[in-house]
Structure 1
Amino acid sequence: MHNPASSHRIPSRLKSVLQAKSPLGAGVRMAALAVGLALPCAIIAEYLAPGRGFGGVALFTIVAAVAVMLMVRTYPHPRLGLCNAVTLVRAALASALAAPLLLAGAPDAGVAWAVTGFAALALALDGLDGWAARQSGLGSNYGARFDMEVDAALGLILALLVIDMGKVGSWVLLLGSMRYLFVIASFVLPWLTAPLPERFSRKLVCVVQIAVLIVLLVPPVMGTFAALLALGATLALAWSFAVDTVYLMQRRLI
């Protein structure tokens, strides 16, 4: 026999979880936001790559699922916060930008300008999440790591787009993948996983890396100028990673 009270049981439980002041409640709210962001991600991805927008949505689904899982496990605060919401928006934009990579051939100038605009928006939002974390007191290792991984993914996607558009040779992939090369090296040299101190120059070089990759996407930027711009940013990023590597090496020897 149907129990009328049972029809309210699941919604009541869901409501209690959403209102819970715990990492679980924050994780559920993150998941709900990810569901809401899936549609604009799909629209942007489909606009940039007609018929291939599903690729961007699939990537965002994976990123959001991992972010929610890690939030539930490691996030120390009971509230989601604007900071993490902004980072998730940036993840949706980065995922949508990956869709044109599924197309055969380089995108036309109109799409290239659109890619540049959405990439610039993702970069502009980068400063907002950190500011929001400081203002709300919701700073955490989770939030910092989430932001860093979105930056790394965005850099790799932009570098692949630069190559796809024929702006610079395949060597520019080094500019977009240095973070991942550092992670791979840490499996061989575990001391590379030790914590690093805050360094303004590291943050500045990261911004320069993404900004240069965005400039390289601008249709008129071509030839020698594009190559020199990419080379300068690559050398700056290599210097930044070298500084961190030397610091970690010295810590290991102490």
Structure 2
Amino acid sequence: MVPDRSDHRWRFILPDLLIAAIVLMGAAGGLRIAFDLSAAVPVVALVVLAVLGVLLWRHQGFRPLTPADRVTLGRAILVLLLIALLPGASALPDDSGIAFALGLVAVLLDGVDGAVARYWHCETREGARFDMELDALLLLVLCGWLVATERAGFWVLAIGGWRYAFVLAGWWLPALRRPLPPSQRRRVICGVQGFGLVVCLAPGMPTAAVTTLALGLFVLLSYSFIVDIAVVSKPAAS
């Protein structure tokens, strides 16, 4: 019988995950103390990191993380902090700006991993997928913060849910599972979404401005997905 090598995958990513856990727990613990939050914050942070670790183990393959992957993992720490703090969002002061600060850094770091990958010649399909899925998760989490802080209604979750709805629809419509060609339009609109949602979380942002901006982001993202659906739905050229 050929030995199952899957257990050996952990040795490729475990050192990076341990460092990430130390940084994440330190940050989560510090924020919990600073804002007198629930003791569950570090626990939630560790749980979501464990989930991320399992996903990396399944999809990373038998190779260590590249320098670009480590930048993405660093950005993931910020997203995981946002997730861990989300259940207690209503207990935070309105002017704390935690979600705004963490989200802004996460958005600004988007693209750095790609630049690192090109500079070090370490582009990989797995790394690109890691970056893309983290972008989608960040949008959903930022939308969750808008709802939790009562800056927008539940409808805003549609922005973060578009990507996941597209993936789920692919189970019933095989055409949606076709690979999409590279698109500058898609890349720019995705970047605009992240930055726009962070602006919506800025301290002192008027509710009317948040609603207007978020609605514009939803329309823009919907347009992008509709274009992508049209592209993959075209019959293959014979």
TM-score bin (small chain): 0.7 to 0.9
Residue in structure 2 matched with residue 40 of structure 1 by the alignment? 23
1:57 alignment partner, one of 37, 46, 66: 46
Shift of 1:30: 2.6
Task: Check the 8 A contact 2:13/2:64 in 1, yes or no.
Answer: no
Shift of 1:101: 2.1
Measure, in 1, the Cα distance between the counterparts of 2:182 and 2:89.
42
Shift of 1:198: 0.6
Task: Check the 8 A contact 1:167/1:226 in 2, yes or no.
Answer: yes
Does the alignment pair 1:186 with 2:170? yes
What secondary structure does 2:123 align onto? coil
Larger proportion of helix:
1
Task: Check the 8 A contact 1:162/1:217 in 2, yes or no.
Answer: yes
Q: How many correspondences in the alignment?
A: 227
Shift of 1:45: 2.8
Measure, in 1, the Cα distance between the counterparts of 2:168 and 2:237.
21
What secondary structure does 1:31 align onto? helix
What secondary structure does 1:246 align onto? helix
Structure 1 length-normalised TM: 0.82
| 1:79-113, Cα deviation, whole Å (9 max, x unpaired) | 532110011111121111111222273521354x1
Shift of 1:121: 1.1
Shift of 1:207: 0.7
Does the alignment pair 1:226 with 2:210? yes
Does the alignment pair 1:30 with 2:13? yes
Task: Check the 8 A contact 1:25/1:79 in 2, yes or no.
Answer: no
The percentage of counterpart residues that share the same residue type is: 30
2:55 alignment partner, one of 59, 62, 66: 66
Measure, in 2, the Cα distance between the counterparts of 1:89 and 1:184.
28
Measure, in 1, the Cα distance between the counterparts of 2:127 and 2:8.
16
2:107 alignment partner, one of 119, 123, 134: 123
2:65 alignment partner, one of 74, 77, 80: 80
Task: Check the 8 A contact 1:157/1:176 in 2, yes or no.
Answer: yes
1:165 alignment partner, one of 146, 149, 152: 149
In structure 2, relative to structure 1, the CA distance for the partners of 1:251 and 1:32 (3 Å cut) is farther
Measure, in 1, the Cα distance between the counterparts of 2:181 and 2:235.
12
Larger radius of gyration: 1
Structure 2 length-normalised TM: 0.87
Shift of 1:252: 4.8
